[in-house]
Structure 1
C-alpha cells in the first residue's frame, strides 16, 4: 500500500513538473531572448553572432523605436549594402498591394464585400463545385476565398518568358510547388488558406478598376505619396537604384527572377522606403485614413486558424495590449524578408536578406519575443535543448528526492518497530 502511495506521489510530481515547464514554454516565462540587453544595439550584436553561425549573403536591417529609426545594420560578403540598396521583397509585396486596393476603396471604386466578378472582364474564376459569386475582395485580402492554388510562384530567369496575368491565373508556368491553377476548391469564408493567386487576382482588379498598369497605379497611389522614392513593382536596369546581389544558400551568386505575380511576390524596395511604409501604419499619411488602416489590421480569420488581417499578417498580441502586424516573404533561390510593427508601442523591425531561406523570419520572431514576450515556434525550437534539460533535471530531482524520502521513512519505521 505504501509503495502504491509513493508511486502515485512521484507520478503526480512528474506530471506537475511537466505541466509547469509546458506552461512556462508556451507563455514564454521560461524562455530567454537572444540578448539580455534592452537597446537596439544589443539586438544588433546578437544578430551579428547569428550571422557568424549561419550563411547570409547580404542583409539590411532597421530597428524602429517609438516611431523613429533607432538603429540600422548592414552586412554583405561582397558588394556593400546600405539603406538605399534595393531588395526583392517576395510576399511582403502583398501587404503593400493591400494599400493599393484600399486606396481604390476610399475612392469608392471598390467595395470589399462585393463579388470579385463585379470588377473583372479580362479573366474569371473557372467553374467549380462552389459558388464563385461568394468570393469577395475581402476574401482575397485575408486568404479566406476558398482558392486552392498553392502558389508560391517560382518566377522566370528570362524576362521574355513572363506570362500575362490572365495566362498565369489560368495556369501559372512558374507554379513549381503546385498545379498552378487559380480555382475555388473550398467554400468561401470556411477556412484560411494562403493563396498567391488571390493577390494576382487583386493585381488584375487594380488594373481593371484603375485603367492603369498595376505597377504604374501603385507608384502613383502609394509610393509617391509616401515618398518611397526607391520602390517599384517593375524593375528596370535603367532605374538608377542599386539592386542587391542575389545569393543562394550554398554561397553562390544566384539569378534574378522576374514575376507575373507582381502584387504577390515582386515588390522592390529598400529599408529607408519600407521604414516610411511601417510608420504610415500609425502616423498620418496621404494614402489611407486611420480608420481604414485600423480595419486592415484587425483579425479577419477564425480564432483557431492562422491570423490574418486585410493585407497584413497578425503575428501576435498579449495582455499588455501589444499587437504585432506585418508580413514575411520568401522566394527562390534564398530570399527572405520580414517587416513587423507593434501598433501599441510603435516599435518595428525590417530585415531584408538573401542567401538564407529563413534568417529574416527567425530574426523577426526573436524580435517579437524580445520586445513583447510573445513566443512562437521559432523561439521554442531554439530553446528546446534548455527546456529538455530543465525537464530531465526536474525528473531526476523528483526521483532521487523520492528515494531519499522513502529510505528515511523506512528507517524510521524500522526503528519504531524495535
Structure 2
C-alpha cells in the first residue's frame, strides 16, 4: 500500500513539474525568437518593413520610436501618398486618448473614480438591472469591469444625417455589429469580471459632456489635443479634406470612413505625428522632446497603467490602457489598438525606456497588431497577451500529451519492475 501511495505521489509530482514548466515557458516566451537582435533598431526596422511589404494591401505608416524620438518610419500606399501627417481613422485606439480626457476631469476634482456614475448623469440613466447599478463607476467603465454587456463594436453611419443622438445611441445603437444587442445596460455584476465594452466609453462620453458643459469634441480639443499641439486630430472626418488617408478595403477598393455617435469609443481621426506627441506623455524617463510632458501628473499616469482587470490569470487592463506584457522593470508595455473590417491601428510604448511603435493601416485587419506583437517580443523578450492567447491551445495540448506520457511510462516502469521481481524470485527458488 505504501509503495502504491509513493508511486501516485511521484506521478502527480512529475505531472505538476511538467505543467509548471509548460506554463512558465509559454508565459516567458522561451521558445519564441524576436525578429531582430535586442536593441538593434535598424535590424528590427528592416525585418518589420520586409514583412509589411509582403502583407500590406492598402496603405499605411509604420513608425519606430526610440527614447521618445522617431528612429525611422516606413510608408506605403497603392493610392495617394501617405506621410506622418496623413490622418487615419483609428477606431478603438481612441479609447486610450479619451481616457486622458476623463482623467483630466478626475485631477480637477470634477469626477471621482469610485463614485456611482449615476451621480453625474441627468440626460440619461442606466436601465434597471438585477444588479446594483450604483457599483458602476468611472474606474470600472475605464477598465471594462462595469458589467456592461452591449457587445459594441460600431459600424458607424454612412451620412452625418444618420448619426444618432448620444442618448438614443446608449439606449439602442443602430450601428451595432450583427449579433449583438447594442444596448448599454448592466448584464454582469459590476467589478466581477472583464468584459470589453464600447458602450462603456459611450457612457463616459456622456459623462464628460455633462460634467464639462461642452460637447465631447470641444472638450477633448481644449483639454487634450490643443495642449499637446495635436493639430491633425479630431472627431469630424470632414475637417481633414485631402489630408485624410484613403480607406482601402480588403479587396483594394476605396470606401468611405463612417460618421460616428461613439466618438470616445471609436470615432477618433489622427496622424502618426500627433500620436508620437501623445506617446511621449506616457514616458516616465526624461527624453528629448518638443511637446509638453505635463498633461497629466505622474501619479495619474501610474494609476492608469496599474492593473484593474485580469484575464487568463494575467493583468491585461489599466484605466483606459491595455497592459500587453511585463517590461522587465516593474511596469508594463502599454497601449491600445483599433480594428474595423479593413482598418487596423496600434500604439504601444515602454514607459521605462521611451521606446514605442505606431502603425496606422487600411486594407488589412490585423497587420498593425501583428507588427506590434513582434515589437513587444523584441523590446522585452516577453510575449504579449495576443501571442499568449494563440500559444495557449498548443501549450494545453503539449501539457496533456506530456502528462499522458509520464503516466504511461510510470505504469510501464511498475510493470517491468514487478516482472523482474517475479523473475528473480523464480530464479532464487
TM over 0.5: yes
Aligned length: 395
Instruction: Give, in whole Å, the separation in 2 of the partners of 1:229 and 1:59.
Output: 20
2:222 alignment counterpart: 220
Instruction: Give, in whole Å, the separation in 1 of the partners of 2:128 and 2:83.
Output: 48
Change (3 A) 1:155 1:305: farther
SS state at 1:150 partner: coil
1:104 alignment counterpart: 105
1:142 alignment counterpart: 143
Deviation at 1:71, TM superposition (A): 1.4
Deviation at 1:47, TM superposition (A): 2.0
SS state at 1:315 partner: strand
TM-score (norm: length of structure 1): 0.84
The question of whether the paired residues in 1 share the 8 Å contact of 2:333 and 2:348 is answered with yes
Deviation at 1:24, TM superposition (A): 3.7
> Are 1:300 and 2:296 an aligned pair?
no
Q: What RMSD in Å do the two structures reach over aligned CA positions?
A: 3.5
Instruction: Give, in whole Å, the separation in 1 of the partners of 2:95 and 2:323.
Output: 14
The question of whether the paired residues in 2 share the 8 Å contact of 1:115 and 1:136 is answered with yes
**Any stretches of 5+ residues in structure 2 without a counterpart?**
1-12, 285-291, 410-429
SS state at 1:307 partner: strand
The question of whether the paired residues in 1 share the 8 Å contact of 2:232 and 2:274 is answered with yes
The question of whether the paired residues in 2 share the 8 Å contact of 1:61 and 1:350 is answered with yes
**Any stretches of 5+ residues in structure 1 without a counterpart?**
1-11, 400-418
Deviation at 1:290, TM superposition (A): 1.3
The question of whether the paired residues in 2 share the 8 Å contact of 1:298 and 1:309 is answered with yes
Q: Residues 276-291 of structure 1: matches in 2 within 5 Å?
A: 276-282=277-283, 285-291=293-299
TM-score (norm: length of structure 2): 0.82
1:121 alignment counterpart: 122
Instruction: Give, in whole Å, the separation in 2 of the partners of 1:209 and 1:163.
Output: 21
Instruction: Give, in whole Å, the separation in 2 of the partners of 1:281 and 1:232.
Output: 20
The question of whether the paired residues in 1 share the 8 Å contact of 2:237 and 2:244 is answered with no
The question of whether the paired residues in 1 share the 8 Å contact of 2:26 and 2:391 is answered with no
Instruction: Give, in whole Å, the separation in 1 of the partners of 2:212 and 2:15.
Output: 64
Change (3 A) 1:241 1:204: farther
Cα deviation, 1:303-360, whole Å, max 9, x if unaligned, reads: 73662111111111154435211101111x3111111111111111111111111111
**Worse-matched range after superposition: 41-50 or 221-230:** 41-50
Deviation at 1:384, TM superposition (A): 11
**Worse-matched range after superposition: 376-385 or 151-160:** 376-385
Deviation at 1:90, TM superposition (A): 0.5
1:187 alignment counterpart: 189
2:31 alignment counterpart: 30
The question of whether the paired residues in 1 share the 8 Å contact of 2:156 and 2:259 is answered with yes
Instruction: Give, in whole Å, the separation in 1 of the partners of 2:332 and 2:378.
Output: 14
The question of whether the paired residues in 2 share the 8 Å contact of 1:192 and 1:306 is answered with no
